[in-house]
Chains A and B, each alone.
Chain A
């Protein structure tokens, strides 16, 4: 049996996305469980996971709602947590920007951390993939993760109290991100960018609502690009 190139890429994406399921499944179930324990009904819990589909922002919003923060603060904080996805949108546009508006809108709905991270690695390694192959790969990562997110949130919401929520599963989130970044630390420019990002976000932690994160990220982008162009000049001079 032979598959079209786009389908082959979809299957590759689904396979490359598998490691993330180790993290997504418990994360979704725990979100469902703590949201239910905090007093949300199943429709509200599923409203978060289906309409918003952004784990860390959902957890941040839930945390603030249990502290009875004003609605405006909940919204502002949750959206600030998601602002990094504006950079994902910019980064993925050169690769899939030629797709139809409806396809781009669907890709935007699924532009969470994992498909972005894997697709940007893949498209940098294999820039000659066609548009349909790139879309195939992106959705191959994104769709199974999205479905897992819905189903495990639902399981968590229905099982509620039976799910232990204090087993340290929150640690899975930083570990996943570190595991994505570490293999990318392959040049001095990448290392310099990552270090700038870490140092600045800690120095700027006094800034409200996660705005320090954005400043740190933009500075780290500039450092990475600058070091890259220095290294190219040194290479050209040598």
Chain B
């Protein structure tokens, strides 16, 4: 149970709201329509492939994750289907379908 007082809870909510907004607004707000240099644009093209795998990997493998062969298998299938079909929806359906399907079968 959360023991924080309502004041503390609202400090967390408002603090997260302001902080998250400022992070999201940073470049959009400050740079606006000034052109960004070509080298920076080249770097930014890689943001999804550079950021998202680093978010996902610790959820599946590593010290803090409770590594589960079923999850790793389903994650691998998701990647293979995604690379093969180039379709986000098929990859999600394959990965989650297999996870809940096999999960139900294996108990």
Instruction: Please list the residues of chain A having a beta carbon within 8 angstroms of any beta carbon in chain B.
Output: 18-19, 22-23, 38-40, 44, 47-48, 51-54, 56-58, 61, 65-66, 68, 71, 74-75, 78-79, 82-94, 96-98, 101, 104-105, 107-109, 111, 113, 116-117, 120-121, 124, 168, 170-186, 189-190, 193-198, 200-202, 205, 213, 216-218, 220-225, 228-229
Once the chains bind, are B20 and A178 in contact (CB under 8 Å)?
A: no
Q: How far is the CA of A93 from the CA of B28 in the complex (A)?
A: 5
Q: How many residues of B contact A (CB 8 A)?
A: 79
Q: Tell me the total A-B contact number using a CB cutoff of 8 A.
A: 292
List of A residues within 8 angstroms of B1 by Cβ: 38-39, 66
Once the chains bind, are B2 and A38 in contact (CB under 8 Å)?
A: yes
Once the chains bind, are A183 and B31 in contact (CB under 8 Å)?
A: no
Once the chains bind, are B27 and A90 in contact (CB under 8 Å)?
A: yes
Evaluate whether A178 and B12 lie within 8 angstroms (CB atoms) in the complex, with A193-B50, A225-B39, A225-B46 already known.
no
Cβ distance B49 to chain A, nearest Cβ, rounded Å: 5
B46, closest chain A residue (CB): A224
Q: How far is the CA of A50 from the CA of B23 in the complex (A)?
A: 17
List of A residues within 8 angstroms of B32 by Cβ: 93, 97-98, 101, 104
Q: Choose among A105, A180, A194 the residue that contacts B25 (Cβ–Cβ < 8 A).
A: A105
List of A residues within 8 angstroms of B8 by Cβ: 71
Once the chains bind, are A205 and B79 in contact (CB under 8 Å)?
A: no
Once the chains bind, are A23 and B28 in contact (CB under 8 Å)?
A: no
Task: Rank and list the top 5 A-B pairs by shortest CB-CB distance, nearest first.
Answer: A182-B82, A224-B46, A220-B50, A179-B91, A51-B17
Give chain A's interface secondary structure class. Answer: helix
With A78-B16, A89-B26 already in contact, 7 other A-B pairs whose C-beta atoms are closer than 8 Å: A82-B19, A85-B24, A117-B52, A182-B79, A221-B44, A224-B45, A224-B49
Once the chains bind, are B91 and A91 in contact (CB under 8 Å)?
A: no
List of A residues within 8 angstroms of B39 by Cβ: 225
Interface core residue of A79, A83, A97 (most chain B CB under 10 Å): A97
Q: How far is the CA of A118 from the CA of B107 in the complex (A)?
A: 35
Q: Mark out the residues of chain B between 51 and 107 whose CB falls within 8 Å of any chain A CB in the assembled complex.
A: 51-64, 71, 74-75, 78-83, 85-89, 91-93, 95-96, 99-100, 103
Once the chains bind, are A108 and B25 in contact (CB under 8 Å)?
A: yes
Interface core residue of A38, A53, A90, A220 (most chain B CB under 10 Å): A90
Q: Choose among A56, A178, A197 the residue that contacts B54 (Cβ–Cβ < 8 A).
A: A197
Q: Choose among A89, A190, A220 the residue that contacts B24 (Cβ–Cβ < 8 A).
A: A89
List of B residues within 8 angstroms of A168 by Cβ: 99-100, 103
Once the chains bind, are A82 and B31 in contact (CB under 8 Å)?
A: no
Q: How far is the CA of A181 from the CA of B27 in the complex (A)?
A: 23
Once the chains bind, are B103 and A190 in contact (CB under 8 Å)?
A: no
Cβ distance B22 to chain A, nearest Cβ, rounded Å: 9
Q: How far is the CA of A70 from the CA of B6 in the complex (A)?
A: 14
List of B residues within 8 angstroms of A75 by Cβ: 12, 15-16, 19
A191, closest chain B residue (CB): B49
Q: How far is the CA of A190 from the CA of B9 in the complex (A)?
A: 41
